[in-house]
Amino acid sequence: MCGIVGIVNYNEDLSNGHTIIGNMTKALTRRGPDEEGIVVKKHCNLGHRRLSIIDIENGKQPMSCKMGDITYTIVYNGQLYNTQELRQTLTNNGFEFKGHSDTEVLLKSYLFYGKEVCKHLNGIFAFAIWNDKTEELFLARDHFGIKPLYYAKIDDNLIFASEVKAIFEHPKSRPILDKTGISELFGIGPSHTPGISPFKGIEELEPAHFMLYHKNGLQKYEYWKLETKEHTDDLETTSEKIRLLLQDSIERQLVSDVPLCCLLSGGLDSSIITAYASKYYQQKYGRKLDTFSVDYVDQDKNFVKSDFQPNSDNYYIDLMVKEFNTNHHKIVLDTPELYKSLEEAMIARDFPGMADVDSSYLLFFREVKKQAKVALSGECSDEIFGRVSMVF
């Protein structure tokens, strides 16, 4: 993860705003523990906390690029999976690159495509680009809203950040609860209606949207929408397409200049990812893939077989580790650790979520971080592939 923050105010000189933007940026230290950067301009301040994954030296942010007499500055959280294709297109059109970071590719893609840039991106992202000449801010979020992005219009300030806690570091921001947001938190949490937050005046930029902010106001635009279409392929064609899509998606996410691993719970989604990733790692790098699982004290002792779950997760994990020859690590947690970490986990995600599930994640990833910086996992896909296997 990384974290981005920013302030735009056309009626105030922000040139001396180092303290405010600095405090906002520091609030995101956990998202980006490796580096911090800020840029202070007359009407725009930007901040970035970095988790260094790709091009450690040349991927520093905020990053600026000059085109003609205009300077553009970006802060970006995410990863592009079509970086190489974009770089090739840009190179063919006269662009040059200092490094191999996707940040530089994204910034120069904006220079090339302008406001249509998101239609050319394959990845997860939340980013802001400031145009020094027009003093216009471009904000965008990925197609499914994987990367968070919140904003608030307070007096003459537009304030944005990857997490709400960073917005609260601005002296004019107040943590006032919103009735609709709180109702959703208790009624359908941890889900919520896109765009809504539990705090009054703080909104979420919706997935598949970009936003323009300039002296004449704010406009939002939807750049993509998921469409339902009739499925006409036969079983064999469908199976092959799914296989190719899975392989392409997983291998594109294995690009990293730092240690990478997979989470392996024994479920269908994590097992599918591990299968493809382990083969890719062995073929490309000649080494085993690291996999991690979480377990709990006395879990096997207390496990009761049922028709729904005839075997414990460990049974399936062991099958996968043996089949794909991974370097497996099992993290064992105890109940007292979980409840002691409940508050810390809630603070980490900004809002109440899934109780001990969140504290499990917090403690689990704290141990994973000791050996790997990037982890691939499957979320909400067991059900999808469970249905697919039943149909097949």
Residues labelled as active-site residues: 2
Centre a 10 Å sphere on the Cβ of residue 182 and count the other Cβ atoms it contains.
14
In terms of Cα–Cα distance, which of 68, 62, 66 is closest to 39? 62
In terms of Cα–Cα distance, which of 39, 219, 69 is closest to 136? 219
**326 SS3 class:** coil
Strands 136-141, 70-80: pairing kind: unpaired
In contact, 76 and 53? CB cutoff 8 Å: no
Instruction: Annotate 278-315 with DSSP letters as a single string.
Output: HHHHHHHHSSPPEEEEEEETTHHHH----SS-SS-HHH
Place of tokens 């003609």: 68
Q: Which residues contact 228 (CB under 8 A, 6 or more apart)?
A: none
Place of tokens 């990293």: 256
